[in-house]
Amino acid sequence: MKSTRREFIKNFGKIIPVVFFGLSFKKFIETVSAKENASTHHPGGDYDWNQHYYAFVVDSTKCIGCGRCVVACKEENDVPKEPFYFRTWVERYVWLNGEEEVKVDSPNGGFNGFPVIYDEKEIRKSYYVPKLCNQCDRPPCVQVCPVGATYKTNDGVVLVDEKYCIGCRYCIQACPYGARYLYPKHGEREPRRNTADKCTWCYHRITKGLKPACVEVCPVGARKFGDLKNPDDEINRILDENRVDVLKPEAGTRPKVFYLGIDGAEVR
């Protein structure tokens, strides 16, 4: 059979849509089955992220404001040492006699401890409140990321992909807790420069069965970390037996950092 060029092109034109639909159907099947896999399938060797779901408890009645957690966090996670870059920090809440307003300060995030600034007699009430990423169950930071560089893992931790982040700062704005910062140009860890950075509950430690660095070094047990899916973990007992608060419940973010001994409405 002899065909003209014209006919050849016409026939070719009929084949292309068939191939195209075939390919997109294949792609569709692949994505659907990947979604199904996500519950059985997991990254990283022996560690199965579907067997864990983590929570964090901060007992502010125990915190002595020594700042060892802030130091350990920066060391463990290559966070720049100067002020304004923190994955975790400690705030001091002070109510003075005869004053309504609470005074909050956090000199260098608590890195060098807290100098005494008020006389004992002037103070009505005062305590320390350690802060870190709340690893929200409904994270606003993840919703606003335009490129899919921040996400929630199956074990409930919000992470940032330093290779994919474009440094647009939307997530930093979206976080009601101020838990994110932009990793500076001069930061020690090169691939992380100019990307959003935040607490990961030391994901590289907890997935090896270790505690986060801040929990590890806390001298008084003011920071507790545990696995909600493990019934023997003390975190379950602590959460069952105590009245706990979360920060800014009105933001609807469902935080997984629970606080003991804070004045709910006033500590935010």
Whichever of 76 and 263 has its CB closer to another protein, that residue is 76
Scan for tokens 């037996």, then name that residue: 241
CB atoms closer than 10 angstroms to residue 207:
20
61 alpha carbon, distance to own chain's centre? 24
Site track 105-134 with another protein (rule: CB under 8 A), x = hit: -------xxx-x-xxx--x--xxx------
Q: Is 220 in the site for ligand HEC (CB under 6 A)?
A: yes
The 207-226 contact track toward another protein, x by CB under 8 A, reads xx-x--x--xxxxxx-----
Residues 38-77 as x/- pattern, contact with ligand HEC by CB under 6 A: ----------------------------x-x---------
Which 8-state DSSP code applies to residue 245? B
CA–CA separation, 31 vs 35, rounded Å?
6
CB of residue 250 to another protein, shortest distance in Å: 27
Integer-rounded Cα radius of gyration of the chain: 25
Structure tokens at 99: 């004053």
User: How many CB atoms sit inside 10 A of residue 197's CB?
Assistant: 25
Classify 183 in phi/psi space as left (phi over 0), alpha (psi -120 to 50) or beta: beta
| Cα separation, 37 vs 60, whole angstroms | 41
Contact letters for another protein, residues 67-106 (x by CB under 8 A): xx--xx--xxx--------------x-x------------
Contact 259, 58 (CB under 8 A): yes
- Shortest distance, position 40 Cβ to ligand HEC, whole Å: 38
Of 210 and 220, the one with the shorter C-beta distance to ligand HEC is 220
Residue, CB closest to ligand HEC? 219
Considering only 66-74, 132-140, 176-184, 232-240, which stretch makes contact with another protein by CB under 8 A? Answer: 66-74
**Residue 123 touches which of another protein, ligand HEC, none (Cβ within 5-8 Å per kind):** another protein
210 near ligand HEC, judged by CB under 6 A:
no
Residues of the chain by 3-state class (helix, strand, coil), percent to 5: 30, 20, 50
At position 112, the amino acid (one-letter code) is: N
What's the min distance (Å) between Cβ of 221 and ligand HEC? Answer: 9
196: left (phi over 0), alpha (psi -120 to 50) or beta: beta
Q: Which of residues 121-160 bind ligand HEC (CB under 6 A)?
A: none
Which of 191, 219, 252, 264 is in the footprint of ligand HEC by CB under 6 A?
Answer: 219
CB distance 203 to 195 below 8 Å: no
Going by C-alpha positions, the residue among 159, 228, 216, 240 that lies closest to residue 192 is: 159
Enumerate binding residues for ligand HEC (CB under 6 A). Answer: 66, 68, 219-220
Using CB under 8 A as the criterion, which residues of the chain lie in contact with another protein when the complex forms? 13, 16-17, 20, 23, 31, 34, 38, 41, 43-44, 47, 49, 61-68, 71-72, 75-77, 92, 94, 112-114, 116, 118-120, 123, 126-128, 148-154, 159, 161-164, 200, 203-205, 207-208, 210, 213, 216-221
